[in-house]
Structure 1
Amino acid sequence: MIRKWMLGSVVCTSLIFGCASQADQPQVDIGDRHGNLRDAQEHIVQAWRLVGEAQRDNDSRLGGHAARAKELLSQANDELRLAADTANEHER
């Protein structure tokens, strides 16, 4: 009974984290006005996708490090967006 409960908990946790990581998927949302920042965003999106492919290829047995990398990529993407917003505020 305990074994079934633990298996169910693991499956539910995996689904929750899988959905959470999908929700944080970075997107390119910086325009051409800030070409370098936009290029950086494009690379982040590509890296995020490739990490996801590595997770699938390794049946998500990467010790949580790939998931953490995706979180950090999402954070970096957010920071680039903020940098572009700040640049827009300070332009004349």
Structure 2
Amino acid sequence: MSEITLELKEEALVIQDNRIIQLEDTIDKLKSRIQELSKSNWVKAYIDGDTSFNPKNTSKWNTNLLTTARGLMQRHAQDAINMQGRLLLSCA
């Protein structure tokens, strides 16, 4: 392989790694925000006199939301891998 092709492959890998790091940071921020909102909603409901909320249901909701987010992240990662493959094929 030519030196230029290897440089392009390396550059594509660095870009992909950086994108994955950005997506992981976004997930961490979303998890924190979800927890903040859940706690805020519980406090508001309690102040309004609603003591009927079940923490188990909220936990299930958070789990479903995180599962959905994980699925979206996996799709984005797969898209990045596919784009990297196309880039490598176009450089070959």
TM-score interval for Structure 1 and Structure 2 normalised by the shorter chain = 0.3 to 0.5
Q: Which has the higher contact order (CA 8 A, sep 6+)?
A: 2
Which of these two proteins has the greater Rg computed from alpha carbons?
A: 2
Looking at secondary structure, tell me which structure has more helix per residue.
2
Could you tell me the TM-score, scaled by structure 2's length? 0.46
Could you tell me the TM-score, scaled by structure 1's length? 0.46
